[in-house]
Amino acid sequence: MEAEVREIGGHLGRFPPFDRLSEELLEMVAGSVEIAYFRAGSAILEFGEPIHALHYVRSGAVEVYRHNGELYDRLGEGDIFGHFGLLRNGRVRFPAWAIEDTLIYLIPDTVFDRLCAEDENFSDFVELFGSRLKATVEQSARENDLMVTRVRTLLSRLPVTIEESATVEEAEAHDRAPCLFGIAADPRGGGGRGNFSGIRRFIVMADDRHTDRS
């Protein structure tokens, strides 16, 4: 039995939100798990029925639907579902069907409630994200906020422009500009030495660094 609990805990610990639980909480969860098997094409949860456990996909694949029949999410190994019903009125909000032969770890609602009360990361995950895909997207958006920030929010004033015939040296003279956009000379294009009539784009940064955008 201990070996089975360790195996369950080891699998849970590979996936969020269980991967950030303390050893004590993870062991408690693993010891509480019941295992259920569902054949492909069978219902796992039906809308409106009472729900008493968080569902964790050990293997297989599950589709989760809105109550109107619209597909909500497709889940695989390490994903959880059923948490929305547990968080609200204890009834299934999103029906779920096995689309492959599927093994499910059932984590009792009492254990789920304890995790929400004692582990902030766990409660945030089930309340805000609900699946690893959504969590990854949200985390990536936070870590790469600069990639999705509109240019106008990055500039404190209007960009500086210069004539197309200006030289690189003249561009650099605008040292107060946050950046300058232009067309750099390409020796192969015969555009002339140091002017902007070639085909390579570049940015002159305020600290005099040149960044090619060929």
Average of per-residue pLDDT across 25-53: 96
Asked if residue 187 has pLDDT above 50, the reply is: no
Residue 58 scores a pLDDT above 80: yes
CATH topology of domain 2-145: Jelly Rolls (2.60.120)
The pTM is what? 0.62
138 vs 141: CA distance, rounded Å? 5
Question: What's the confidence (pLDDT) of residue 158?
Answer: 54
Give the CA diameter of the chain. Answer: 80
Confidence of residue 88 (pLDDT cuts 50, 70, 90): confident
Query: 24-37: per-residue pLDDT in tens?
Result: 999 999 999 999 99
Give the pLDDT of residue 161. 63
Alpha helix (H) ranges present in 168-210? 168-172
pLDDT on residue 105:
97
Asked if residues 112 and 85 have their Cβ atoms less than 8 Å apart, the reply is: no
Q: Which residues of 142-176 are buried (b: 16+ CB within 10 A; e: fewer)?
A: eeeeeeeeeeeeeeeeeeeebeeebebeebeeeee
Q: Output the pLDDT for position 89.
A: 86
Output 85 or 147, whichever has higher pLDDT: 85
Q: How far apart are CA 21 and CA 18, in angstroms?
A: 5
What residue segments make up the domains of the chain, in order of their start? Answer: 2-145, 151-213
